[in-house]
Amino acid sequence: MLKTLSLLGLLVMVAALVGLYATGNLFSSQPLVIAFQAAAGLLMIWARVTFGRRSFHAAANPTAGGLVTSGPYRYIRHPIYTAVCLFGWAGVAAHRSAAGVALGVVLLAGGLMRMLSEERLVAERYPEYGEYAKRTKRMIPFVF
């Protein structure tokens, strides 16, 4: 059930990003938006490099090789989902449309669905995840 929910969360996130693009609410020529989206891209790359050669799984399957707690994972548990949400919400903030905000909420909801499912799956595989979760936040260091 958790793997199905994580897959659904991923699909919801992708659909929201496609919706933001299709409605013209994803990209902007505003320098601040470009800076936030570039930072989101760099965070995603940093997280992916830190995660290493492990493969990406559409359904959140915990991989072998131990729990990753370095790089951006030292500060937040889900830097890739955080980067995707930051990228999307930067576009939403630039356009401030009802459709954009609705799709931004859907993007965040899909991310949260994926994160919560993944956390339970990873905790089952790695008992030390509980301690790690106590000292890190999901998306925003020291906040959430």
Question: pLDDT tens digit string along 112-138?
Answer: 999 999 999 999 999 999 999 999 999
Q: What would the pLDDT profile of 76-86 be if each residue is shown by its tens digit?
A: 999 999 999 99
Closest C-alpha to 119, from 38, 65, 75, 62: 62
Q: pTM (2 decimals)?
A: 0.93
Distance CA 91, CA 88 (A): 5
